[in-house]
């Protein structure tokens, strides 16, 4: 693993690191914030999954999460959103290919050799981090924005017992019924919609839900509301009688101004579960 940068931040360290990924068959870069408590031993960790077009850097520099993570003594992990490089398949569209991994394991060409973001986030990157940093693997939580909110919710429900809590900012909530989803799930997983179900938070909520608390914030002025389909997930949460808070935030859009406005709430929400 190569250290690309390390900067003091809020008493801790914000680092950026690169490593060779066996899962994605390319080099991958991630951000990691460690609070000062990590000097004395393992700390809980909150995973932040970013959205379409983003890298590890967007949330790391725009979300304002480090100040609240430092306050609660929690580490933050900022993975990239896809494999990258000259030999990695891509598409001219912003919502497919590099920067748009959708947190699935692709089974279709030309994506299958590299696009295995589910395994990367769920298995490989945790092993890399656990081996090198003071992280407590028994105390994990996950959050994300947009495509990353989709990833956070599906990983949390798809890996029972892994995460103590899950939250999302404006998640792609029902991708199998949206143009932000049908296109990508067909490209990565094929036309059989049965293969899509484990990657649709609304469908997963209807069939099982999450064994823990959920917090979702959605901007009421989000320019992508029709693509996100929050009403489908809200209905599934109600039908499942899931422990959850789903908040429509008046006046807010899809931007990082929205994310940073409610980041304090989300970190505190996860801290309550992680330190319990």
Active site residue ranges: 146, 222, 254
Q: What is the CA radius of gyration of the chain?
A: 17
CA 237 – CA 60 distance, rounded (Å): 30
| CA–CA–CA angle 101, 273, 218 (5° rounding) | 50
Question: Strands 26-34 and 2-9, how do they pair?
Answer: unpaired
Q: b/e for 53-90, b at 16 or more Cβ within 10 A?
A: ebbbebbbebbbbbebbbebbbbbbbbbbbbbeeebbb
Q: What is the DSSP string of 95-123?
A: TSBTTB-TT-B--STTTTTT-BHHHIIII
Q: Of 149, 244, 242, give the one whose Cα is nearest residue 200.
A: 149
Q: Do residues 101 and 84 touch, judged by C-beta distance below 8 A? A: no
Peptide bond into 246 cis (omega under 30): no
Q: Where are the alpha helices (DSSP H) in the chain?
A: 57-62, 65-72, 117-119, 125-132, 147-158, 179-189, 201-207, 225-228, 230-240, 256-274
CA 34 – CA 75 distance, rounded (Å): 5
CA 109 – CA 222 distance, rounded (Å): 33
């Amino acid at each position: 693993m190569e250290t690309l940068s390390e900067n003091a931040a809020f008493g801790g360290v914000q680092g950026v690191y690169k490593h060779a990924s066996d899962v994605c068959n390319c080099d991958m870069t991630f951000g990691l914030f460690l609070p000062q408590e990590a000097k004395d031993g393992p700390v809980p960790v909150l995973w932040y999954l970013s959205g379409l077009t983003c890298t590890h850097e967007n949330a790391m520099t725009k979300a304002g999460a480090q100040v609240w993570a430092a306050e609660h003594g929690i580490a933050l992990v900022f993975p990239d959103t896809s494999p990258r490089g000259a030999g990695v398949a891509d598409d001219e569209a912003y919502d497919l290919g590099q920067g748009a991994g959708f947190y699935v394991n692709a089974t279709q060409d030309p994506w299958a050799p590299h696009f295995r973001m589910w395994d990367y986030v769920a298995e490989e990157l945790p092993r890399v981090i656990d081996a090198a940093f003071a992280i407590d693997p028994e105390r994990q939580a996950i959050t994300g924005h947009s495509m990353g909110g989709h990833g956070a919710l599906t990983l949390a429900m798809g890996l029972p017992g892994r995460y103590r809590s899950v939250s999302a900012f404006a998640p792609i909530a029902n991708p199998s019924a949206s143009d932000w989803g049908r296109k990508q799930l067909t490209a990565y997983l094929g036309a059989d919609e049965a293969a899509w179900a484990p990657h649709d938070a609304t469908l997963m909520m209807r069939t099982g839900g999450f064994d823990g608390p959920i917090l979702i914030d959605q901007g009421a002025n989000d320019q992508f509301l029709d693509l996100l389909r929050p009403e489908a997930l809200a209905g599934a949460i109600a039908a499942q009688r899931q422990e959850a808070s789903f908040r429509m935030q008046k006046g807010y859009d899809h931007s990082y101004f929205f994310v940073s406005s409610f980041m304090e709430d989300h970190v505190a929400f996860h801290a309550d579960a992680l330190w319990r």
